[in-house]
Structure 1
Amino acid sequence: MSEEKSLNFIEEIIESDLETKKYDQIITRFPPEPNGYLHIGHAKSICLNFGLGLKYNGKTNLRFDDTNPVKEDVEYVDSIKEDIKWLGFEWANEFYASDYFDKLYEFAIVLIKKGLAYVDDSTAEEIAKQKGTPTEPGTGNVYRNRTVEENLELFQNMRDGKYADGEKVLRAKIDLANPNMHMRDPLLYRIKHVPHHRTGDKWCIYPMYDFAHGQSDSIEHITHSICTLEFIPHRDLYDWLINQLGIYPSKQYEFARLNMTYTVMSKRKLLQLVEEKHVESWDDPRMPTISGMRRRGYTPASIRMFCDKIGVQKRENMISVGLLEFCVREDLNKTAIRRMAVLDPIKLTISNYPEGKEEILTSENNPEMPETGNREVAFSGNLWIEREDFREVAEKKWFRLAPGAMVRLKSAYIVKCTDFKKDEQGNITEIICEYIPESKSGSDTSGLHVKGTIHWVSQAHAAHAEVRLYDRLFKVENPSKEEGDFKSYINEHSLEILPNVYIEQEVKNVKPGEPIQFIRKGYFTLDNVHTKDGKLVFNRTVTLKDNWEKAAK
C-alpha cells in the first residue's frame, strides 16, 4: 500500500483556511504577461494554481497582466491559452488587467484624495537616486509636498495625454526610510503613448505591475495569490495598497521558481536566441517553451508528472533536466507505438531468400500495452539495416553482424553474414547474409539461439523521411551563471539532421503529436512545421536512455 503524499506548505495553508472557515471556496489565478511564449517554468505555476483549484473544488482564473502595451501582443495571448489547454487545464474565467483600467484609475484617485499618492516630475534616474540605498534612507523632493488638488489636476492631465512619456509619474506616498526599498514611494502609474492591444488609444497612462496585480486579485476575490520568491519584497506593498483602499483582502504567498539544468528561463534571453537565429523560432524543439516541447513530442502527462515530482519549495534549487527526460520516457514507454526506422542505412541482401518473394509478418504495436495488438510488417530479401549494426572485425562481446556472425532480424528470421562489399574508398556498401527458413519468429524450429536482435526495413516497402536529432541546447549545466555571454555555451551538436532515413511504410499515417518509439533509437514525433508536400520529418523527443549521464561517468 503506497504512502499518502505529504502536503506542500501552500496546501497546508489552504487546508487550515478551509478548516477555520476563513473561505468558503478557494480561488487561485494564473496571471501571465502576454509578452512572450510560456516555458516549462510557467508550466510549474500552471500545474500548481490549477491543481490547487481542482484539488480543493475551487476555481482558477486566467488573467492576462496586460499593463505594458509596448511588449504585449495578441499572438502571445493566443499561444498562452493554447498551452494551458494542451496541458489539460480549463480556467473558470478569462480576465485581463485591462478589464480593470477604469477601476484602477478610481483606486488611484482614492489614494490621492487620502494624501497617499502624488505626481512626480522627476526623471527615472533622479527617482532611483532619491530612494537611497539599503543602508541609507531616501530623500523626498518638492513634488512630494504637492496638495491633493494639485495632484488630482496633474493626474487628470496625465490621463488626458498632456504630457510626454516619462515626463511625470504617479507615486505612492509611504515611507522613504522603510527598510524595504519597494516601500519607498513606489511608482503606481507611468505615461506611455502606445496603443493597447485591447483598449486601443483610450489610455496613455498605464498602471505598474505592483499597482495592478494586488487590486486585480482583490476585484476577483482571489484567496491565495501564489507568486515566485522574487516577489517577497513586493508583498508589503501588496498588503499596504489593499489595506489603504479597504478592498477584499487577497493574500500573497511565494514559492521557488523552476531553475533547470542545461537551459535558460529568462524571457529576455529566450527572445535573444530567437531574434539572433540561434534557434528556429519560439517553438524550436530545443527551446524550453511549452510550444517547443509540444513540437518535440513531450506529452502533457509527462510535464504534469515532472511538476508533481519536483514539488513546491520555499528555497531556490536547480532541477536536473534528466528528471524531465525521465518523466517523458516513463509516459512514452506506455503510450508510444513501436515502429522500425533505419537512421543510417546500409543494404542487407539475403542471398538465399527466393527472388521476388515478399512476406507479411506481425509485430507488437506496444509490448507495454497488449491491448494495442499487432501490426503487419512487409518483409523481403532486400533490407535496410543500421550501419552501426555491422563490423568488419567483431570484438569479443559483439552480438550483432560480422563475417560469420548470426543475429535475429526483429519479428523475422535469423540471418548469418556470409560476405560484404566495399566501394573504391573502402566504405562498406552492402552486407550479404543467408537466412534460416526454420527460424521465423513465432514458429522457430531451428534450435538456434542468438544473443543479438537488430531492426530492419524492407527496401521495397520503406517510406523515406528526414529525422532531426535534438539534444540539450547548452553544454553547461547553468549557462546563465557562467562567465561571459550565455550564448557562447550553446551546444553546437544540439541538432543533427539525418536526411536519408527509411521507416516502415505505415508510419505515413501518423499525425503530428502522436508518439512513436523507433525501436532501439528513441522516441519521435512527426514535425508539424517541416512535414509538407509529401516530405516526412520526424523530431526526436528523447533517447531511450540518459546518454548525458552515461557520458558524465
Structure 2
Amino acid sequence: MKSNNFLKKIINSNLFSKKFINRLDNKGKILPKIITRFPPEPNGYLHIGHAKSIFINFGLAKLYKGKCNLRFDDTNPEKEKKEYILDIINSIKWLGFNLKYKKKKNIFYASDYFKKIYNITKKLILFNKAYIDEQNIKEIQKTRGTLIKKGINSPWRNRPIEESLNLFKKMRKGKYKNGSLCVRAKIDMLNSNINLRDPVIYRIRHIYHYKTKNKWCIYPTYIYAHPIEDALEYITHSFCTLEFADQRPFYNWVLKNLYKLKIFKKPLPKQYEFSRLNLTHTLTSKRKLKQLIKQNIVSGWDDPRLPTISGLRRRGYTPKSIKILCEKIGITKNNSFIEYKILENSLREDLEHKVPRIMVVLKPIKLIIDNLEKDKIINCIAPSYPKNHILYKKKYRKFLLTKNIWIEKEDFSENPSKDFFRLSLGNKVRLKYSYIIKCTKIDKDNNNNILAIHCIYYPNSNINNLNKNKYKVKSNIHWVSKKFAIKIEVRLFNHLFKNPKPNLNDKINKNSIEILKSYSEITLKKTKFKKIFQFERQGYFIYDKINHTIENPVFNRIVPLKNNIFK
C-alpha cells in the first residue's frame, strides 16, 4: 500500500474534486469521505487471494481515515455456513484489521437487506425494467446467445407488468417450485455484452438459510444484490478483482435505473477492478479447495499445505509476511501468477531478525566422541539472535556437549564427492559453537547400515579458545547431545502440485508432507515450545496448533532457509 498505485490516484482525484464531501446517511449523519467494502460469500475459508483484497479495502480505508465494511454476501444458502463466517472474521482480525467503526460493529449481511431488495425489485417490475420468466435455466442459457451470436427474446419478455408483479408476490409466498420461475432484468437481448442480455436477478430456492432460516424462498443473485448493497451502505469505491470487470456494465445499469426511480441519490458507488493474487503451485478457488478436502487429499481448510489464511497461519506465516508479499507484487490491472518463492522470501524477511535460533537434528545418526569421558558435560553457549544487533549480546542460550551426540545423516558421507566438505572418514569439521572433531571409524550392522560414527575432538579447539585458528576446517555441522535431547515430531511441507499453474486434474505431489522423528537442543523445553524458531541450517518452524502437546511436541516447517526444491 506504500506505492502510489492507480487505486490511490482514483481516491485522490475524488477527494480533490470533493465528490463525496458532506454526504448524509438516512439519519442525517455525515458520512466518511471514503467507504470501501470487503464482500466475501461465506461458502468457504478465505485464501491468500482474499488477503490481497483485504489489505486493499481495509488498508485504503484506514489510510484515508474512512471505513471499510465487512459484508457477507449470503445470497446462496445452499453453500453457506456459520463456520465460514467465523473463519472470515478471525482471518481479518488476524491480518490486523479492526471490525469496528467509531466503537460500533462494522459487519453487515446481504440477508439483512432481503426485504429492501425485494421491494426495490417490485419497483423495477412496475416500471418495466424486470419481468418474470418461465423458462428453465437450460432454456435461458440456450437463448442467451454467444459472443458471435445474438440472444433471443424470452416468450415471456413482454408479459404484462401487473402479471409479472403478481407472480413475483406469489414467488415470495412460496407458491412455486425451485426453477419454475425467475426474475430477469429487462435490458437488451441483442447487446454485444452477454452480461446485459436480460440477466437473472431473482430465483426460487426452497432451502434453509443459516441466518434467515425459512423466512425467504426467493433470493437475489449476487451480481444484482451487490450494487444495491453498495448503495445502501453508501460505498464510495467498490474495489474488486478483474473477473468482475465484465459485470461492471450491469452494476452501472442497476444503479442508474434505481437513481432514475429515486431510490438512490448521487454520487453513486463506482466499481474498479484490480488483478487477483494467483500463486504458483496452489489453487486459489474455494470450489477447488473444497474438492481437495472432500477427496481427503488434505486434512481440512487449515491444512498447512493449502493457501487458505487458516492454513498459512497454522503453517506459521505471519500477517506481516503476507502484507510484505502484497506490497511487493503491487496493485495492477494485469492478472499473472506470482512465484511461491516470493511469499517464502517475504516470511524470511519478516522473521530473520526477530525469532530465536536453536539447533535441531531432523534425521539423526549417532556420533560418539571417543576421547571425551563418559560422564563429562561441557557447557556451550550461542547467541539466540545472531543477526539482531540489539539482542545479539543480551540473549544467549546454553546447551551441553556430551560423549554421545546426534548429527544429521546428510552431514556424513562414506564416499564424499570433491565438493563435500562435511564429515567423512579422516576429515575434520567443527561442531557448531563447540569443538573440532575428526572422524576415525564407523560401526555398521550386518546389512551395512551405519549404526554410529566415531570421532575424536581437539580440547583446545573450542570456538572461544584463543588457539581455535590452529585447526583449519571447511565446514560447521549442527548437533544435539543424545543425553539431553528433546524428542520432537517435525513436519516438512512441499507444494501439493508440481505444476506451477495447477488444476484439479494434475497429479498430487506424493512428497508434499514428510513426518520425522527428530531431536532438539534442551533450550526448546525452556521456551515451553510455543514460539516460532529458526532451526539452524534447516529453516523456520512453528509448533502445530492442532497436534502439538508439551508431552509430544509437533513442529511445522514454515519455509526452509532456501527456496523449496521438489523431491
* TM superposition score normalised by structure 1: 0.94
For residues 117 and 397 of structure 1, the distance between their equivalents in structure 2, rounded to whole angstroms, comes to 75
Three-state SS of the structure 2 residue aligned to 1:461 is: coil
Q: Compute the displacement of 1:318 (Å).
A: 1.7
Note if 1:427 corresponds to 2:449.
Answer: yes
Paired residue type of 1:22: K
Aligned to 2:487: 464
Q: Deviations over 1:160-205 (max 9, x none)?
A: 1111111111111111111111111111111111111111111111
Q: Compute the displacement of 1:511 (Å).
A: 6.6
Aligned to 1:283: 302
Counterpart mapping for 1:427-506 below 5 A: 427-446=449-468, 447-480=470-503, 486-498=504-516, 500-506=517-523
Pair 203,366 (structure 1): closer, same or farther in 2 beyond 3 Å: same
Aligned to 1:333: 352
Q: Compute the displacement of 1:148 (Å).
A: 2.3
Pair 380,256 (structure 1): closer, same or farther in 2 beyond 3 Å: same
Counterpart mapping for 1:26-425 below 5 A: 26-91=34-99, 92=101, 93-246=106-259, 247-248=264-265, 249-372=268-391, 373-425=395-447
Q: Deviations over 1:239-297 (max 9, x none)?
A: 11111112141000011112221112122211111100111211111111111111111
For residues 148 and 509 of structure 1, the distance between their equivalents in structure 2, rounded to whole angstroms, comes to 76
Note if 1:21 corresponds to 2:23.
Answer: no
Alignment identity in percent? 49
Q: Is the 8 A contact 2:143 2:153 kept in 1?
A: yes
For residues 58 and 151 of structure 1, the distance between their equivalents in structure 2, rounded to whole angstroms, comes to 42
Note if 1:529 corresponds to 2:546.
Answer: yes
Q: Which sections of structure 1, spanning at least 5 residues, go unmatched?
A: 481-485
Which deviates further from its counterpart, 17-26 or 27-36?
A: 17-26
For residues 139 and 145 of structure 1, the distance between their equivalents in structure 2, rounded to whole angstroms, comes to 13
The structure where helix makes up a greater share of residues is: 1
Q: Is the 8 A contact 1:340 1:455 kept in 2?
A: yes
Q: Compute the displacement of 1:335 (Å).
A: 2.4
Q: Compute the displacement of 1:360 (Å).
A: 2.9
Pair 510,37 (structure 1): closer, same or farther in 2 beyond 3 Å: farther
Paired residue type of 2:90: E
Which deviates further from its counterpart, 374-383 or 397-406?
A: 397-406
Paired residue type of 2:385: N
Pair 547,157 (structure 1): closer, same or farther in 2 beyond 3 Å: closer
For residues 547 and 451 of structure 1, the distance between their equivalents in structure 2, rounded to whole angstroms, comes to 25
Pair 509,280 (structure 1): closer, same or farther in 2 beyond 3 Å: farther
For residues 511 and 154 of structure 1, the distance between their equivalents in structure 2, rounded to whole angstroms, comes to 66
For residues 361 and 227 of structure 1, the distance between their equivalents in structure 2, rounded to whole angstroms, comes to 55
Paired residue type of 2:135: S
Q: CA RMSD in A?
A: 1.8
For residues 301 and 349 of structure 2, the distance between their equivalents in structure 1, rounded to whole angstroms, comes to 26
Pair 54,295 (structure 1): closer, same or farther in 2 beyond 3 Å: same
Pair 51,198 (structure 1): closer, same or farther in 2 beyond 3 Å: same
For residues 226 and 514 of structure 1, the distance between their equivalents in structure 2, rounded to whole angstroms, comes to 36
Note if 1:508 corresponds to 2:525.
Answer: yes
Aligned to 1:483: none
Pair 235,20 (structure 1): closer, same or farther in 2 beyond 3 Å: same
Q: Compute the displacement of 1:147 (Å).
A: 2.2
Paired residue type of 1:415: I
Q: Compute the displacement of 1:421 (Å).
A: 1.0
Q: Is the 8 A contact 2:301 2:311 kept in 1?
A: yes
Q: Compute the displacement of 1:224 (Å).
A: 0.6
For residues 66 and 140 of structure 1, the distance between their equivalents in structure 2, rounded to whole angstroms, comes to 30
Q: Which sections of structure 2, spanning at least 5 residues, go unmatched?
A: 22-32
Which deviates further from its counterpart, 470-479 or 439-448?
A: 439-448
Aligned to 2:9: 12
Q: Deviations over 1:16-49 (max 9, x none)?
A: 1111111231111110000011111111111111
Three-state SS of the structure 1 residue aligned to 2:373 is: coil
Q: Is the 8 A contact 2:529 2:553 kept in 1?
A: no
Three-state SS of the structure 2 residue aligned to 1:432 is: strand
Paired residue type of 2:560: T
Q: Compute the displacement of 1:489 (Å).
A: 2.5
For residues 155 and 342 of structure 2, the distance between their equivalents in structure 1, rounded to whole angstroms, comes to 56
Q: Deviations over 1:104-127 (max 9, x none)?
A: 111111111111111111111111
Aligned length: 541
Note if 1:520 corresponds to 2:537.
Answer: yes
For residues 66 and 5 of structure 1, the distance between their equivalents in structure 2, rounded to whole angstroms, comes to 33
Q: Is the 8 A contact 2:236 2:269 kept in 1?
A: yes
Which deviates further from its counterpart, 75-84 or 87-96?
A: 87-96
Paired residue type of 1:478: K
For residues 530 and 488 of structure 2, the distance between their equivalents in structure 1, rounded to whole angstroms, comes to 17
